[in-house]
Chains A and B, each alone.
Chain A
Amino acid sequence: MASDATIARNAPTVAPRAAPPTTLQKMARRRSTVAFLLTLPLLGVIGGLVAWPAAYAIYLSTLNRRMTAFIGLENYAILLDNDTFRMVIWQSCFFAITAVILKALIGFWLAHMLHHIPTKGQRIWRGMLLVPWVIPPALSTLGWWWMFEPSYSSINWLLSVFSVPPVPWLGEKWWARISVIIVNVWYGAPFFMIMYLAALKSVPDQLYEAADIDGATGWQRLRYVTLPMMRNIISITVLFSLIVTFANYDIVRVLTNGGPRDLTHVFASYAFQVGVLSGNIPRGAAVSLFMFPLLAVIAYFVLRGINQRTKEIGA
């Protein structure tokens, strides 16, 4: 950062001034002052709208229902005793892990296929395959909801063409869980595809040429060239998607609203039901804070991945 130092020293002399600048003017032109003023609104958003609410949530979760008395960790204890909530923990993990694995596999496969076809045609295919990611999920889930509708289900009609009996998509607990996962995979797989495609394109061709000269088979090329080169992007994307999927709300809200019998609730939708709809704000805050430890662990690994990548690129 040598240039910055010279900038700071030179700036006052470069600007033509008749009178020697006052202290205030000097302050205003100091680099740190300018930088502070430029980042002030950002600090306001991070501090006032993220950090402060997060701390406030912890405080809220230690209050009783009417928010009049401090009850320590009792909200957490009550939740952990509750069968419905234990089911919510299980369902959130099952939903997030299954959906992310499927999204990653499908995304990788599509990126690979897209990478294989001539460059000229890639644009149009990419354009079509990215459509699910572009439509606001709350609205596209409405379409899925209609496709799953018990008596008019168009998916069941397609299945009936192959003489498969109708599936109770949203009425039976396992099918409802699978439906939520299907919609989430449909929405999220294109994101993986686009990330992996960018990563595939950044692998230098020389590496493949070298592998070919060494007589590598297709599988070996994938295993020893492509995957190591993409490892970082794969882990960042998977971890990032794990956070987003784990915290998902809109798909569950529109598709099942937690039903049948609260069996498809995830943390976010259960927190909403307890906190906002039933009016027990402290316990709702406790529900959503259960996400925090897991998110913190994932965030740590994402950050490590990003730092490694910065070093590899050689910034």
Chain B
Amino acid sequence: MVATATMVGAIMGLSCQFYSNAVRKLPLMRHPWEHVLAIGLGAGFGNAVASWEVRLQEDLDKKLSEVQTANNKRYIGTMRAVED
């Protein structure tokens, strides 16, 4: 998961830098340190998004289970009372 996020992020960062040079009609490898910076930023961003997604999923599951519990208490509790 971490390796994939890092790799995809790094490729996206590098692609952005290539695109930026290409659209300005500069040689693709102009200022190579910018490419390294872009790869680093992309990898960091990829990892951050991946970990953020995991955290979001946990928060959402927690929220949905709270809602489910509240709904069950409200309706299923009432139905049982009627059956009794």
Do A and B interact?
A: no
List the interface of chain A (C-beta within 8 A of B).
none
* Chain B residues packing against A (C-beta within 8 Å): none
